[in-house]
Structure 1
Amino acid sequence: MRISTQSFFEQSQSAMGSQQLQLFRTQQKIATGRNFLTPSDDPVGAARALNVSQALAESSQYAASRSQAMALLTREEDALKGAATILQNVKQLTVQAGNGTLSDADRASLATTIQSSLDQLVSLANTDDGNGQFLFAGYKSGSAPFALQAGGGYQYVGDQGQRLMQVDVARQMPATDDGRSVFQSVQGSAGYVASAAAANTGTGVFGPARVTDATAAGYGKDFSISFAGGNYTVSTQDTPPAVVASGAFSAGTPISFGGLQISITGAPADGDVFDVSTARNAGTDIFAAIGELVGALNKPLTGGGADAQAELLNALSTANVKLTNAHDNVLTIRSSVGSRMNELDALNAGGAARQLMDKSYLSEIEDLDYYAALSEFTQRQTALQAAQQTFASLGGIALFKYL
């Protein structure tokens, strides 16, 4: 078959162009270190690489969220640690204040120290995250959660929202706790709190309320013990109240009711009332409890008689129980914070392992096998040179050379 000179030149040019293009693409792969330059080079590989890249981007976002959550929880843990220390110190000062040898000046000095501790506690409750967002304010994190009221005391002006952060594919974690749950709540396991009415005039002093039978009828209700004519009457604080126990009062003899038992010493006056309430109904605001304690310690006993001494001892007993409940609550929440921090550590370890696997898989898909690529480059270079030499040789053939 006769091949025209034009056809020969066109076919040779096309072949050498194809060889040059393949050589150029191989050279680009070597230069970039990528197995394919465009999705059309390997559609399946490109699709897999895109999926893995998206997974890596999500993992990076989760890691950033975990880092932010860890920073917030670390800040909260520091605040709770400080709050627990303050409450423990105030408890010790409360016990010290019960020493009968202290003078009014001594108790006033303790009151000043406790007031300073209260100020420190409020400052911790209004801790921010370093960026102007308050940790214990819930969703209202732009303003301090606890505000001093004109009449004294502190009001919680935040809400009970929890700032959730997506720290993993199927895990949303609260990065903060609201101030009401931390500083104005007690645990469900907190026991009863006894207190004396402010209008009491006798010398009755109550002991701790003890649980004798948690299955007894009426257990879990709030009770009041009233005195008249040398007798006591125990009633529920329901509306209307129901009498659950009564009898002749004997100082120091335990009074039993509703699965509870409490002893009262001294001589309660007619009309005196002692409340025995569940912790959640006895006043859970630790700022208010410490404020009342400061007020009781600042009240002079000199010239007040035995009733004033009884009033102080009852106030100290109530404050001690409330401080214990608040301290336990803070420790429980601090334990929860620690558990979340441990979970973040575990999620970080798992996330790092997944990222390493994804990066390795992505490398297998995208990264170039240099040994194979260099071998291919050499082969294509040799093929191009052979095609060029063949074209040059055949292009020089002419009949006139042989005439």
Structure 2
Amino acid sequence: MRLSTNQMFNANVNGYQKGYSALVKTQEQITSGNRIQTPADDPIGSARLLQLEQQSALLSQYKSNLTDATNSLTQEESILSSMINISQRARELAGHAGNGAYNDQNRSAIAAELKQIEAELFGLMNSKNASGEYWFSGSQSGIQPYVLNSDGTYSYQGDQGQQNLQVATGLQISINDSGYSAFETARNVSRTASSLDTVGASGQRMYLSQGTVSNQRDFDSTFRADAPYKLEISANTDGSIGYTVTAAGVAVDSGSYDPNQENPKITFRGVEFNLDTMLKTGESDFAALLDGHSFDLGMAPEKFAVSSNSAAQISASTVVDVDAYTTGFPDGGVTLKFDGTGYQAFAQPSNVLIPSAFDGATNTLTVAGVEFSFSGTPAADDLFKVTADSQENQNLLNTIANLRAALEQPADGIEGGGLRIREAIAVALGNIDSGMIQIESTQAHIGARLNSIDTLLVENESLSIMNDSTQSAIRDTDQFEAASRLMLQQTKLEAAQAAFVRVSQLSLFDRL
């Protein structure tokens, strides 16, 4: 086999270039600190690095989301803490309003401060975050959660959802709480009602409160089941006063009543009632005067929140068919529209026309078991939005609004005025406590989520460190090995250069 001079030169040049390329690559690995310059350097390692870089990006995003979640929950907790403080002040005012020495003017002053508290709570419940989204609208962050209705009540417009952030693989965390869970599920202590049925021979001398729920379990398991009831007062043969509670004519409870006792009460199936005696001047025979009084007891009737754009009003809303109301009244409420001659009903939020019956003679509309009475003169296309305001729960706004309204009404010199004030205060105290318990429960859930975030942050940091360490092990250059390899490559390259110089000078003429 013969080698030409050209082949010999080309072979040596190619070898030199390869050696020089390897030397340069080693120098780049040492200078940059990265062993893998291109995927060809280590295909398996390059694929693994790509996976690790993707995981690192996810971990970085999760860390950012955890920070956002912490900020959001911390701000929400701060809002709720402010609400607790304000509610506590409202409770103190309610206690002051019960002072027997206070007159209408004193109570009006308290009502004025309660009105300011009401406005503060309304503002806090409609708080927005830095992005202009409402905290307590659930998943509908663009909708104002609470609105003031034309009848002075407050209604919740959000949903029961929450906004979530992905904070780990397969794990999301809620960054807000809906107004429904934070405020609307507070138990209403005033879920019963009473009315006078008959009086004694000398007229009414006894007054019975509407009742407040004192034992939720007994109320749910026994009171509801047999309502309505009748409470009958009778004089015993020994001169004492007894009472009997009947359901459908069957006695279900009985006991004695001492009208001389301060703030006398009877507790029946988880509900506490105040029995007040108001004798006229010169009267003292309790037994004769109270004998024959009777009262009807039962569940409080449903209420409805109304908002409208009309000069006319809904003067009364009454459930006339309990079964039809329970099964047919839309959860989202109804919109009543005046078409020029009468009213039509549309279910919300679908805005679908539903069956209704309008009686022009009485100006009433019956829909889904509820009869609405109208007053005033409406214009064509006037709308009334009506939502059911369940007696089971009551938010703080309506609790304080009800107390304020009760304190604004005169009571001095009015028969039963003091009893009305006392009952309004008792209900308000119970419902403020219930509302604060619900807010504190929400705070507890926020605390649990913040604790989870702290744990996830530590875990995320550990995973990030491990990820960086693994990437470093795959990508980083072993400086000692690379330095030794560089010296070897330099030596080989110098030797090749020296050999090429000697070989390139060989010729037959040198042998002559």
TM range (shorter): 0.7 to 0.9
Instruction: Report 1:140-289 matches (<5 A).
Output: 140-186=140-186, 192-193=189-190, 203-204=207-208, 209-211=213-215, 214=218, 218=222, 226-227=230-231, 234=245, 244-245=252-253, 250-251=258-259, 255-258=266-269, 260=270, 262=272, 264-267=274-277, 281-289=391-399
Distance of 2:165 and 2:489 partners within structure 1: 55
Query: Which residue in 1 is equivalent to 2:429?
Result: 320
Q: Which runs of 4+ in 1 moved over 6 A?
A: 198-201, 240-243
Superposition deviation, residue 318 in structure 1? 0.8
**1:345 aligned residue:** 454
**TM-score when scaled to structure 2?**
0.69
Q: Deviations over 1:256-312 (max 9, x none)?
A: 543x363533138957556677xx84442221111110011111222113x111111
CA contact (8 A) 1:154 1:287 kept: yes
- Corresponding residue number in structure 2 for 1:380: 489
More relative contact order in 1 or in 2 (CA 8 Å, sep 6+)?
A: 1
Distance 1:198 1:315 in 2: 16
Distance in 1 of aligned mates of 2:108 and 2:297? 26
- How many angstroms does 1:315 deviate by? 0.9
Per-residue CA deviations over 1:187-228 (Å, capped at 9, x if unaligned) read: xxx685466659898544588654498599616658566556
The verdict on how the C-alpha distance between 1:4 and 1:115 changes in structure 2, with shifts beyond 3 A counting, is: same
Counterparts of 1:372 and 1:401, CA distance in 2: 44
Structure 1 or 2: more helix by fraction: 1
2:112 is aligned to 112
| Cα separation, 2, equivalents of 1:215 and 1:17 | 94
User: Aligned residues: percent identity?
Assistant: 27
Over aligned residue pairs, what C-alpha RMSD do you find? 3.2
Q: Is the 8 A contact 2:265 2:275 kept in 1?
A: no
Letter in 1 for 2:492: A
Match of 1:55 in 2: 55
Q: Which has the higher strand share?
A: 2
Give the whole-Å Cα distance in 2 for the aligned partners of 1:364 and 1:33: 11
1:125 aligns with 125
* Structure 2: stretches of 5+ with no match in the other structure: 198-203, 235-241, 279-289, 301-389
Determine if contact 2:98/2:425 at 8 Å carries over to the other structure.
yes
Q: Is the 8 A contact 1:205 1:313 kept in 2?
A: no
Q: Calculate the TM-score normalised by the size of structure 1.
A: 0.87
Aligned equivalents of 1:380, 1:399: Cα separation in 2: 33
Distance 1:274 1:289, change over 3 A: farther
Once residues 289 and 20 of structure 1 are traced to their aligned partners in structure 2, the CA distance between those partners, rounded to angstroms, is: 86
Paired positions, count? 393
Structure 1: gaps spanning 5 or more residues: none
Q: 1: distance between equivalents of 2:507 and 2:297? A: 128
The answer to whether 1:296 aligns with 2:406 is yes
Q: How much has 1:45 moved relative to structure 2? A: 0.7
The answer (yes or no) to whether the contact 1:76–1:135 under 8 Å persists in 2 is: yes
- SS for the counterpart of 2:222 is coil
Q: After TM superposition, give the deviation of residue 336 of structure 1 in Å.
A: 0.6
Residue 32 of structure 1, CA deviation: 2.6
Deviations 1:228-271 (A, max 9, x none): 665866577xxx9997446776545654543x363533138957
3-state SS, counterpart of residue 266 of structure 1: strand
